Structure 1
Amino acid sequence: MKTRTASCSCGQLSITVHGEPRGVGICHCLACQRRTGSVFAALAGFNAPYTVNGRATEYLRTGDQGAQFLFRFCPVCGSTVYHTEIGYDDKVSVAVGAFADPQFPPPTVSIYDNRRHAWVQLPSDAKVFSKDP
C-alpha cells in the first residue's frame, strides 16, 4: 500500500496517509481562495487511518450548505496542511501542494466553478459543478 506524507512549509506539521486518494478535487469558492491565497484549493481525500506529527492550529468554517470543516494549519509558518469534516472522522482531506509531488494525480472534480477565474484551465475530463454538489 502506498504511503504519502504531506507537510507544511517549515516541516513542523505533517500528515501521513495510506493508499490512493478517494478523490482529488479543486474548489474555487471564495473562502478557499482566501484560505490558500491562491485562486483555488487543490485537495485529495483519504480514508483513515492517518498519522499527524507536530502541532496544528485549527480553524472551523461552516460551508454554504451547513457542513462544518476543521482546517489544520501550522502555527509556525501558517501553511494549511489538512482538514476534516465534522461528523466524518474516518476521512481526511489533504492540501495537494503539501505533498510537494509534481506527479500527484490530477483533479477529477471542480466545485464552485461559478467562481473559477477565467484563465484557470481544468483537465478535460474533470466533472464540473457550479456550486458544491
Structure 2
Amino acid sequence: MIKGHCLCQGIQYEYHGEINEVAICHCYQCKQAQGTPFATNAPVSTAAFQVVQGQSLLKSYFASPNKRRVFCSQCGSPLFSQRMDHPETIRLRLGTITEGHIPAPQYQIYCDSRSAWFELDQQTPCYPANKP
C-alpha cells in the first residue's frame, strides 16, 4: 500500500495498489504548478485511490479545459492531476508519498520544454537538511 499527505497533513490518502509507472514531466504547466523544473508523477487507478482525511480541503484548478489539478486549499500542496476524458486514472505527485515503494522513473515527457539551466548528476554535492 502507498500512503501520502499534503504538507500540512490535512489531506491524507492511500493507494491500494502498486506504482508500476513513473514519469518525469517537463511541460510548462507542470513546472509552473509545482514550482520546480519538472514534475514526477505516476498514473494510478482512481478505483484504488482513497482520500482518508481532509476531503473538504481538496481544491481543483483547470489550467486547460480538460485537465484538473488537485491541491490542498490550506497549504497549497499539489496532489494529483486528472484528465476529464480519463476519469479512471489520476497522475499522483510522487513528492507527497510518505510510505510505500516508488520505482525509478521509466521515461520523461515534454522534453522540448526542459529547463536548460537544470542538470543534476552524481558530482553535484548533496548536503543534509542543515547545510554546513
Q: TM-score, normalised by structure 1?
A: 0.77
Code of the residue aligned with 1:14 in structure 2: it is Q
Matched-pair contact (CA < 8 Å) for 1:32–1:41: yes
Question: Secondary structure of 2:19's match?
Answer: coil
The CA deviation at 1:30 is 1.2
The alignment of Structure 1 onto Structure 2 pairs a total of residues equal to 116
Aligned-pair Cα RMSD in Å:
2.1
Runs of 4+ in 1 over 4 A off after TM superposition: none
Q: What are the ranges of 5 or more consecutive residues in structure 1 without an aligned counterpart?
A: 123-133
Matched-pair contact (CA < 8 Å) for 2:67–2:84: yes
1-structure distance, mates of 2:82, 2:120 = 27
Aligned partner (choices 105, 114, 133) of residue 103 of structure 2: 105
Identical-residue share of aligned pairs (%): 27
Matched-pair contact (CA < 8 Å) for 2:2–2:100: no
The CA deviation at 1:102 is 9.4
User: CA 1:110–1:121 in 2, change beyond 3 Å: closer, same or farther?
Assistant: farther
Code of the residue aligned with 2:61 in structure 1: it is Y
Larger radius of gyration: 2
The CA deviation at 1:61 is 2.5
User: CA 1:103–1:117 in 2, change beyond 3 Å: closer, same or farther?
Assistant: farther
CA deviations over 1:81-128 (Å, ceiling 9, x no partner): 112210222112110100046962111120110111243359xxxxxx
Do residues 45 (structure 1) and 43 (structure 2) align? yes
Code of the residue aligned with 1:89 in structure 2: it is P
Match of 2:119 in 1: 120
Match of 2:72 in 1: 74
Matched-pair contact (CA < 8 Å) for 2:21–2:43: yes
CA deviations over 1:49-84 (Å, ceiling 9, x no partner): 21113121110122xxxx721111111110001122
Match of 1:129 in 2: none
1-structure distance, mates of 2:68, 2:13 = 15
